[in-house]
Structure 1
Amino acid sequence: MTTFRWDHTVHYVNDLEAVREAFGKYGLVAEPGGRHVGHGTKNALAYFGLNYVEFLTIDDAEQLKPDDPSELVFSDAANYLPDSEGFSRVALRVHDIDEAWQELRDKGLAVSPIAAGNRTTPQGQELRWRIFTISGTDGGLPYPFVIDWQVPDDVRLGQLAGSGLLGKHAQGEVTTSRAVIEVDDPAALAHRWAELFGLSPVSPTELGIGEQVLQFVPGPANAIVELVFGVAPGPGDDTPAGPGFDFRLGGARYRSES
């Protein structure tokens, strides 16, 4: 059975530079990621180890492909922007995307064909991956999409460190703890996602996914509404833990907890 890990969270925004400035005010780093050539978007990335936030905006609307299910993550930017800046969906990381695709298809999900993805960094480096999306929603909540970076996690972490994309947060060592997701029926949604993605229940409304938690709470949004982080001293004696943070970008809340 496939092991799913929480890879990243998509946050649609109108202005990448404004995001970087807002993060900087709270001692957090979001770096330019690059353009998705041929897909119509560009991004900035805030890394917390391997888990990260992808701030995605429209680069060339004419390149968006709303009728292609494999392009859902890119084309959805036009459905959110400019009026609804906020979290979209999570990406789940696997190391055998063909097996994951077959498992989810067998469970009745409307999976897109597996597609090759690419992005050119500001330094001119081309990054490649394989990806598929899941059409529709679960009670109004968008399904995750699935990505395979085609290298082991330790190799990818080294690549990120070498590329300079791993942020040196002034807050210290910042790690993603959980996503808070508003849905109509938290217990029912948590039960379904535990079965679909092989996640471990922490409570009737919380699912463990690696070292992080997906927390379902009652509410009308049918969306991720908050990301929660831990803050600890960084490596070395000269990087104490920062004071923490709690702020909003559009409809998305970012906060730390002790």
Structure 2
Amino acid sequence: MARVALRTSDIQKTASHFTSQGLIVNGPVRMHRRRPDGSLVKWQLLYVGHEEEGPELPFFIQWDEGDEDRRQDLIRNKSIRNHPAGGSMQLNHVGIAVNDLEKASRNWSQWLNVAVNETYIDDSLHAICRELKVPGGSIIFYEPRGENVISNVVAAVGEGPFRVVISGGDVEQVHTISGAVYSIRK
């Protein structure tokens, strides 16, 4: 997992916001693809960068159709369907491995214009953590305490996303795909 995507409904305003923050902005870039059924899907992407040390910022996407129309279309073409883990699942959080929790959470909070929660300890991962609430879920930064799975991620691939947690499943599952951990929780 290399980068997180966040949805926006006004990509021009999003680009202006990051430009005013002094960040490097590339886009928006118009894109499209034709589905096997012949329908055309259109969207715009915006890439945001910074010269600070730390994880890459998310990229931003704006679909050319409204949320509800897109959702109904995805249900119709079976891109959204019931998962074998059951339940009413939704994104809980994306975990991002970082070397400097204070700096990463402070920068992202400022750049994304979101509040940051208090620092806490995750004993199971041996990490100091801090959560940023974003629409549709959370981003949690994990700074390793000693040598552990998070320090191994940072050493192997650098700072960035390493974990996705989905909540609301009927069955708890954990899958590792390309080094990233995907967890389904009840």
Alignment of 1:224 onto 2:161: yes
Between the aligned partners of 2:178 and 2:136, the Cα distance in structure 1 is: 27
Q: What is the RMSD computed on CA atoms of the aligned residues?
A: 1.8
Between the aligned partners of 1:181 and 1:125, the Cα distance in structure 2 is: 35
Alignment of 1:213 onto 2:148: no
Please say if residues 55 and 104 of structure 2, whose CA atoms lie closer than 8 Å, have aligned partners that are also in contact.
Answer: no
What CA deviation, in whole Å up to 9, does each residue of 1:139-165 have, x standing for no partner?
241221111113332222122212221
What CA deviation, in whole Å up to 9, does each residue of 1:54-73 have, x standing for no partner?
xxxxxxxxxxxxxxxxxxxx
Alignment of 1:100 onto 2:100: no
Q: How does 1:159-174 map to 2 (within 5 A)?
A: 159-172=73-86, 173-174=88-89
Between the aligned partners of 1:176 and 1:257, the Cα distance in structure 2 is: 10
| Pairing partner for 2:36 from 100, 122, 127 | 122
Between the aligned partners of 1:137 and 1:231, the Cα distance in structure 2 is: 38
Question: Which residue is equivalent to 1:245?
Answer: 173
- Residue 137 of structure 1: CA displacement? 6.0
The secondary structure found in structure 2 opposite 1:200 is: coil
Question: Which residue is equivalent to 2:70?
Answer: 156
| Pairing partner for 2:24 from 96, 110, 117 | 110
What is the identity, as a one-letter code, of the residue corresponding to 1:230?
Answer: S
Q: Relative to 1, partners in 2 of residues 1:117 and 1:200: Cα closer, same or farther, differing over 3 Å? A: same
Between the aligned partners of 1:90 and 1:122, the Cα distance in structure 2 is: 26
- Residue 130 of structure 1: CA displacement? 1.2
* Percent identical: 21
The secondary structure found in structure 2 opposite 1:148 is: strand
**Long gaps (5+) in structure 1:** 1-86, 233-240
- Residue 138 of structure 1: CA displacement? 4.5
Between the aligned partners of 2:102 and 2:163, the Cα distance in structure 1 is: 18
What is the identity, as a one-letter code, of the residue corresponding to 2:113?
Answer: G
Q: How does 1:1-258 map to 2 (within 5 A)?
A: 87-136=1-50, 138-172=52-86, 173-204=88-119, 205-218=130-143, 219=151, 220=154, 221-232=158-169, 241=170, 243-258=171-186
Between the aligned partners of 1:140 and 1:194, the Cα distance in structure 2 is: 13
- Residue 178 of structure 1: CA displacement? 0.5
The secondary structure found in structure 1 opposite 2:3 is: strand
- Residue 171 of structure 1: CA displacement? 0.9
With normalisation by structure 1, the TM-score equals 0.59
**Long gaps (5+) in structure 2:** 120-129, 144-150
Between the aligned partners of 1:120 and 1:253, the Cα distance in structure 2 is: 31
